[in-house]
Amino acid sequence: MPARRAAARADPPRARLEVEERREQLVALGMELFSQRTYDEVSIDELAQEAGISKGLLYHYFPTKRDFYIATVREAAQQLLERTATPEGMDPLERLRAGLDAYVDYVGQHGKPYAALLRSGVGADEEVTKIVDATRAAFAARLVEAAPAGAHGPLVPIALRGWVGFVESATLEWLEQKKKVDPVALRTMLMKALVDVVASASGC
């Protein structure tokens, strides 16, 4: 690796920053394009054109279209987790409500890639599946933390994971119905489902 290290040293810090910034700009652009159309519908030519750079330069940042797509999925998952994060001191039910509002809002804004991801069109990709699974696991971990003290027993993790699937399927149906149901009504139902199912799984 000495060659690589020498190359890194040779790179002035400003240039490295520019590479990082440009990469982020490209990912932001990709997220926008994939928000409107699916993976198959967006071509590398179009990506390069929209970014105002050559195809060769785009390949310099992302060796393949798949690499580029995975970077946008990773960024979207990160954003979803950040936007739905709530302050630790908050009341658990308030946290849940705020987190779900942010989730429904995010899904409403990024309906197309969200549906494509969960309906496993491109989601088949092993790397993408890993990102989706890690995101689900992060949500489940938050739920476990927020669960009331009385929530225990072997059925509780089954109920929590089931509820994550409930939220995914319900929001997909909501998108297919063109979001005609008010997001607050949807969130209220999602929230009540969690409370009920945890109570039922805990046997209380």
Q: Does 115 bind a copy of itself (CB under 8 A)?
A: no
CB of 35 to a copy of itself, least distance (A): 22
Residues numbered 142-201 forming contacts with a copy of itself, rule: CB under 8 A: 154-155, 157-159, 161-170, 172-174, 177, 180-181, 185-186, 189-190, 192-193, 196-197, 200-201
Q: Tokens representing 192?
A: 């009540």
Tell me whether residue 57 or residue 181 sits nearer to a copy of itself (CB atom): 181
83 HSE (CA, 13 A, CB side)? 15
CB 156 within 8 A of CB 147: yes
**Residue 38 touches a copy of itself, criterion: CB under 8 A:** no
Distance CA 13, CA 58 (A): 21
Which of 65, 60, 73 has its CA nearest to residue 23? 60
**Residues 1, 3, 7, 124: which binds a copy of itself (CB under 8 A)?**
124
Nearest to residue 34, comparing CAs of 107, 90, 114, 89? 114
Name the DSSP class of 86: -
Q: Is residue 119 involved in binding a copy of itself (CB under 8 A)? A: yes
Binding interface with a copy of itself (CB under 8 A)? 119-121, 123-125, 129, 154-155, 157-159, 161-170, 172-174, 177, 180-181, 185-186, 189-190, 192-193, 196-197, 200-201
